[in-house]
Amino acid sequence: MQKIRTRLLAILGLSTLLLTVIGLASIGVYALKTKSQMALTPWRDPTTAVREQSIAPDLGLLPLTGIDEAEAISRALFANELDTAYSILVYSTSLSDSERAGKWLLLGQRYQESGERQLASLCYRTAAEIAALSPFMTDLSRAQTFLQAGTGLVAIQAYGDAELACDQAHDVALYSLYLTPAHRQQILQGLKTAYTAMGRGEEKWMDLARLVTGGQVTVSQPPQMPVDTMPSLPVNAEVEQVENARKAAIERMLIVLVPPQREPSKYLLQAVTEALLAEDQVKQQVYSDAAMSATDLPTQVALAQARVTWLTLKLRIARRATGLSLIPGWEAQETEIREQLRIARETFYELLATYTGDKTPTLIHQQLLTGRLGLYPDYPEAALADAIQTGTAQTVGSLRLQVFIQNNARYFVLTGQP
């Protein structure tokens, strides 16, 4: 009897110990998971997340036929070709900041619905970057973008990134001089829901609630926002000819690229390759430094922007981000094309500064945003961030742009606090 009792006690002790170990392990896993959910995600060049093998060429090539990029993205989303929509959006050079942010939010939602949490997170965070850095968005558009990005990040349990986005929506709604009470109320309701889902208390939104319910909000006339307008590009018959030849060659190829067919004939592919190479040769001459220097300043700016647009497309082709291997020679020269784009961007912003007479803050914010979008390779982020930290380029509407570094990653945030 004593032996049985001893054995039972030993089993009970081992069971208790095992349950304790399991409990401690569960607590540890929960703590690690919670810590991971609350961590901030470092910036990632969104162009590096393109999945070339998943791009549908019949849709990915649409912008090369002259179809508007926004329309091409919409068609890809309608066809549920999310990676194709991503590839068009991430290399887009024609969308306004508000349009771009809206497309990133929509794509983030679609990735979220399909279970692609990492890509959804990247899309939402990119939209928030645009809201923080764009010199052209209104305060209302910023606040709504931050709130939608934060709400999406809450849904995928990326609470650290969600809180950063929601905090910026809060500051825009609280400190902006240009939002109506109805707009502030709208943002407040969304923030209450998001903060509650993150386990945050009333202290996160109570100051905004008091402002909204106080009924003494003074709405100022919004200032004249900087306008993202460029000088017109002079008509060039030779450029038009090669562009039309390229569009026609791709349209002929798209006729046979009806899903599930994803590979054109060698003949059609060769025609596209030859058209692109001919276009590159012409544009290298027309958009060269020598050609630019022989013109007036507005034309120089227009030509510099056209060169940036062409090199961005050329880099996309070199990375097979259209869904096909169009020019293997460019693929082997990707590093060189990337460097050409960096120099072209640098030249463009130098000319733009002279043309507008505006070195800060609009131009600095433009460069930062273009760099964070992956469209300005190896951009001088540290120098631009220093300009912000020294107060040279802080003002964004009625708020200020601040920089902080965490775990060697740099973050740009809007705040109304001193």
Contacts of residue 410, Cβ cutoff 8 Å, sequence gap at least 6 = 43, 381, 385, 403, 404
pLDDT at 216: 59
Angle at 291 between CA 285 and CA 294, to 5 degrees: 165
Is 268 part of a structural domain of the chain?
Answer: yes
163 shares a domain with 84: yes
CA distance 115 to 121: 11
Give the torsion through C-alpha atoms of 27, 28, 33, 38, to 10 deg.
90
Helix, strand, coil shares, percent, the chain, to 5: 70, 5, 30
pLDDT at 33: 41
The residue among 249, 210, 233 whose CA lies nearest residue 65 is 249
pLDDT at 215: 66
Is 222 part of a structural domain of the chain?
Answer: no
Distances (CA, A) of 327 to 244, 284, 287: 18, 17, 21
pLDDT at 389: 83
251 shares a domain with 204: no
Residue type, position 103, single letter = K
266 shares a domain with 183: no
189 shares a domain with 69: yes
Q: Is the pLDDT of residue 413 over 50?
A: yes
178 shares a domain with 78: yes
- Three-state DSSP state, 234: coil
CA distance 154 to 35: 15
**Quick one: three-class SS letters along 331-360?**
HHCHHHHHHHHHHHHHHHHHHHHHHHCCCC
Domains contained in the chain, number: 2
360 shares a domain with 316: yes
Burial class for 14, CB neighbours closer than 10 Å (0-12, 13-18, 19+): exposed
Q: What is the CA radius of gyration of the chain?
A: 26
* C-beta atoms surrounding 335 within 10 Å: 10
Is 170 part of a structural domain of the chain?
Answer: yes
| pTM of the predicted structure, to 2 decimals | 0.88
Q: Give tens-digit pLDDT for 142-181.
A: 999 999 999 999 999 999 999 999 999 999 999 998 899 9
Distances (CA, A) of 252 to 60, 85, 92, 212, 265: 15, 22, 23, 58, 11
135 shares a domain with 192: yes
Q: Give tens-digit pLDDT for 371-385.
A: 999 999 999 999 999
Confidence band, pLDDT 50/70/90 cuts, at residue 390: confident
pLDDT at 221: 55
Query: Percent of the chain having pLDDT more than 90?
Result: 77
174 shares a domain with 254: no
275 shares a domain with 160: no
Is 417 part of a structural domain of the chain?
Answer: no
151 shares a domain with 184: yes
DSSP type of residue 136:
S
Is 289 part of a structural domain of the chain?
Answer: yes
Q: Of 214, 248, 283, which residue is a domain's last?
A: 214
Is 285 part of a structural domain of the chain?
Answer: yes
- For 269, the domain range is 237-395
252 shares a domain with 176: no
Is 55 part of a structural domain of the chain?
Answer: yes
287 shares a domain with 344: yes
Q: Give tens-digit pLDDT for 85-139.
A: 999 999 999 999 999 999 999 999 999 999 999 999 999 999 999 999 999 999 9
pLDDT at 38: 73
Confidence band, pLDDT 50/70/90 cuts, at residue 35: very low
Q: Of 180, 214, 248, which residue is a domain's last?
A: 214
Is 402 part of a structural domain of the chain?
Answer: no
Q: Is the pLDDT of residue 27 over 60?
A: no
